Structures are given as structure tokens and as C-alpha cells.
Chains A and B, each alone.
Chain A
Amino acid sequence: DVKVTQSSRYLVKRTGEKVFLECVQDMDHENMFWYRQDPGLGLRLIYFSYDVKMKEKGDIPEGYSVSREKKERFSLILESASTNQTSMYLCASSSRRLGHLTGVQTPRNNEQFFGPGTRLTVL
């Protein structure tokens, strides 16, 4: 079974603090994602990583950065937390949609799997 874990279920921080949210997956997935979920706004992609040290901005990257030093771990960093970053943060992982079999790109099942979420409150 795929397992995606997140470092905390609940977190309370103060405005201006640097905050680290950690995510680990055990399925050797190339892709990892960070989303935030807010009432009425659904899930929005913050950042996406498709390989170690590779990242791509999502829809709402402002105020966030990420780090992917190892394949299994993807960290979301709030450099200076603000109250408008109070939210539910969800991490996910998947295989890349195309694999390489004997030099030929082949489509793969790239079902996305989610961690349990971190509910962050910034006071």
C-alpha cells in the first residue's frame, strides 16, 4: 500500500515564524505535490516537484518555498508565516505519467495519493 505521511496533524505558529511542513512517501514516486485547502476554494496547488531538486510553481506559490533533497521527502517552507496562511495543507505523490521501458516512453498509472493533512493555524 502507498503510504504518504506528514510530520504533524495540527500545528500552531505565530506570525513571522519560519514554518517547515514535512512530507514523506514510501513508494519511490517521482512526483510530489503540496496543496492547501480552504473552505469554498477547494484544493489549490502550491508547488510540485517532479524529481530530486526539481520544482515547479503551482497556482499559489507566493509566500511559500519548497525543498526536495531526497526522492522520498518534500518539504514546504513558510519563510515568514502570516495569518492568511492558516489552512489545511495536503501533500501527495504519484509516479510520472510516462515511464521509460527499453528507451521508449510508455504511459503509466500515475494515480495520486494523499497524506493525512496538516491543519496549520497562524496566530
Chain B
Amino acid sequence: GIQVEQSPPDLILQEGANSTLRCNFSDSVNNLQWFHQNPWGQLINLFYIPSGTKQNGRLSATTVATERYSLLYISSSQTTDSGVYFCAARLYNTDKLIFGTGTRLQVFP
């Protein structure tokens, strides 16, 4: 089955720094989502991005489906950005998502 790998597994930043999180997937996908899991465990939708680039405030994401990767950019990080970031991919002909193992981000003041 499809493999979804995220890097780095852990990231420690000082407030104000920029970061790039990467998601590689092993097969062609028809949907790629990025989530942020807050300290209370809720998964917050960040981007639905099968291809191309999207921006939402300090966050942006790019998916290059032909090269099987997606990137999440966080600029001017804040302590509230801390948590775990997951990417999840959906194969063609299925409605199910396959999740990566996440990147744990800690932002210190």
C-alpha cells in the first residue's frame, strides 16, 4: 500500500523563525491534506491541496504530485504553532486517507 513519510520527526524553533515540513508519498495520490493537532488532541484542517500552492496567513503549502511530495511552510512561527503536523494522502479509487507519522513542532518564546 501507499507509504506516507514526514520529515523531520521533531523540530524546535524560536519564535519568529521560519520552517519547512516535508511529506513524501510512494504512489500517485488524488488528495493531500495537512492537519495541525493541537495540545487537546483535535485535528485542525490546514490545507486540502492535491496539487499546486495555497496560502493562508503565515502558512502556505505546495504539492508536486508528479514528484510525490508536499511541503508545508510556516513563517514567523509563534508559540501557538506548537503541536504535531500531519499530512495525509488519498489514493485514486478510494475515500480513505493514509496518514504520515507527523512532525512534532515546538516553538519557544
A residues in contact (CB < 8 Å) with B? 31, 33, 37, 42-43, 45, 48, 50, 58, 88, 90, 92, 94, 96-97, 107, 109-117, 119
In the complex, what distance in Å separates the CA atom of A92 from the CA atom of B11? 27
Which of B15-23, B36-44, B51-59 lines the interface with chain A? B36-44
B97 interface residue per 8 A CB criterion = yes
Q: Which residue of A lies closest to B92 (CB)?
A: A97
- Count of CB-CB pairs between chains A and B under 8 Å: 53
Chief secondary structure at chain A's binding surface: strand
Known contacts A111-B33, A111-B48: does B95 contact A96 (CB below 8 Å)?
Answer: yes
Q: Pick the contact of B31 from A50, A110, A116 — CB < 8 Å?
A: A110
Residue B101 lies at the interface, judged by CB distance under 8 Å to chain A: yes
In contact, A97 and B99 (Cβ under 8 angstroms): no
Given A42-B102, A43-B86, A97-B30: A114 and B95 interface contact (C-beta under 8 Å): no
The yes or no answer to B68 lying at the interface (CB within 8 A) is no
Among the listed B33, B40, B45, B86, which residue makes an inter-chain contact with A116, where contact means beta carbons less than 8 Å apart?
B40
The one of B42, B43, B90, B102 that contacts A110, using a Cβ cutoff of 8 Å: B90
Q: A43-B86, A117-B42, A119-B41 are in contact. Are A112 and B33 (CB under 8 A)?
A: yes
- Top 10 closest A-B pairs, CB basis? A114-B43, A111-B48, A117-B41, A43-B99, A116-B42, A42-B101, A31-B95, A97-B95, A42-B99, A88-B41
Could you write out 28 A-B pairs with CB less than 8 Å apart? A31-B95, A37-B41, A42-B86, A42-B99, A43-B86, A43-B99, A48-B96, A58-B96, A88-B41, A90-B43, A94-B95, A97-B30, A97-B94, A109-B48, A110-B90, A111-B31, A111-B45, A112-B33, A113-B45, A114-B35, A114-B42, A114-B45, A115-B42, A116-B40, A116-B41, A116-B42, A117-B41, A117-B43
A102 to B98, CA, bound (A): 31
A-chain residues with CB within 8 Å of residue B35 when the two chains form the complex: 114
B54 to chain A: closest CB distance in Å? 12
Shortest distance between the CB of A25 and any CB in chain B (Å): 14
